[in-house]
């Protein structure tokens, strides 16, 4: 049985909960008290020396980092549609995974963390990078329905949470019509679940 170490308000944890639900994979969930320092506990640091959620246990195997977990789950428990095997198709997915770990993380996720988690980031810098991320996604989604292929992949799952949570970081999505249509397509997927701040 899979076990997920999770914080309910973490967008990165939500990526994994969402994907597990979309692929109908059962798991048990253990919530970590992030505000109370749960990720700094020695027992947790044995699981992830970076002191971050999410962490996934599959039997004796431990995988940390949301991007790594998505790749693992897609390769281990689904067909190739979520993470293609062909080199070019795989590279297309990886490009957007990189965006999720860079512009989206340092922009949208951090802008939200300022307001939701009282993190000491620079709000102007976060908003500027977050807006750049939204423009990049809007451009891509104006050309096709999904980020990396003609169907949903883990690229969409990786990018979706902090985009959908952008209003919690005081970044409006009102003018991004292609992004809003994409979010509706994700919400229409069988097995979709939401989280606080999105639904």
pLDDT at 117: 83
- CA dist 132 and 72 (Å) reads 29
pLDDT at 74: 98
The radius of gyration of the chain from alpha carbons, rounded to an integer in Å, stands at 16
Burial profile 23-46: b = 16 or more Cβ within 10 angstroms, e = fewer: eeeebeeeebebeeebbeeeebee
Based on the fold, state whether residues 40 and 91 are members of the same structural domain. no
Which pLDDT tens digit goes with each residue over 128-177? 999 999 999 999 999 999 999 999 999 999 999 999 999 999 999 999 99
Based on the fold, state whether residues 50 and 125 are members of the same structural domain. no
HSE (side-chain half, CA atoms, 13 Å) at 90:
8
* CATH at 59: 3.40.30.10
Distances, alpha carbon 113 to alpha carbons 28, 31, 77, 150, 166, in Å:
26, 19, 32, 32, 10
Mean pLDDT to the nearest integer, 187-199: 95
Which pLDDT tens digit goes with each residue over 3-40? 999 999 999 999 999 999 999 999 999 999 988 999 99
Mean pLDDT to the nearest integer, 103-114: 96
- Report if residue 132 sits inside a domain: yes
- Report if residue 192 sits inside a domain: no
Domain C-terminal end among 43, 77, 111: 77
Domain count, the chain: 2
- CA dist 133 and 138 (Å) reads 9
Domain C-terminal end among 48, 77, 106: 77
Which pLDDT tens digit goes with each residue over 26-84? 999 999 998 899 999 999 999 999 999 999 999 999 999 999 999 999 999 999 999 99
Q: What range does the domain containing 104 cover? A: 87-187
* CATH at 181: 1.20.1050.10
Domain C-terminal end among 31, 55, 77: 77
Predicted structure pTM score: 0.96
């Amino acid at each position: 049985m899979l076990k997920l170490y999770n914080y309910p308000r973490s967008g990165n944890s939500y990526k994994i909960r969402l994907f597990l639900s979309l692929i109908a994979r059962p798991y048990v969930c253990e919530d970590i008290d992030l505000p109370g320092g749960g990720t700094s506990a020695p027992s947790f640091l044995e699981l992830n020396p970076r002191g971050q959620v999410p962490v996934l246990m599959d039997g004796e195997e431990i995988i940390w980092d949301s991007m790594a977990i998505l790749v693992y789950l897609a390769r281990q428990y689904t067909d190739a549609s979520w993470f293609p095997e062909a080199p070019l198709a795989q590279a297309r997915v990886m490009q957007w995974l990189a965006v999720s770990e860079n512009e989206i993380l340092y922009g949208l996720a951090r802008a939200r963390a300022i307001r939701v988690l009282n993190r000491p980031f620079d709000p102007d810098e976060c908003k500027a990078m977050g807006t750049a991320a939204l423009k990049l996604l809007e451009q891509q989604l104006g050309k096709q329905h999904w980020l990396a292929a003609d169907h949903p992949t883990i690229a969409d799952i990786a990018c979706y949470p902090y985009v959908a949570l952008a209003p919690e970081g005081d970044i409006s999505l009102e003018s991004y019509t292609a992004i809003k249509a994409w979010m509706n397509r994700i919400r229409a997927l069988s097995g979709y679940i939401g989280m606080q701040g999105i639904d």
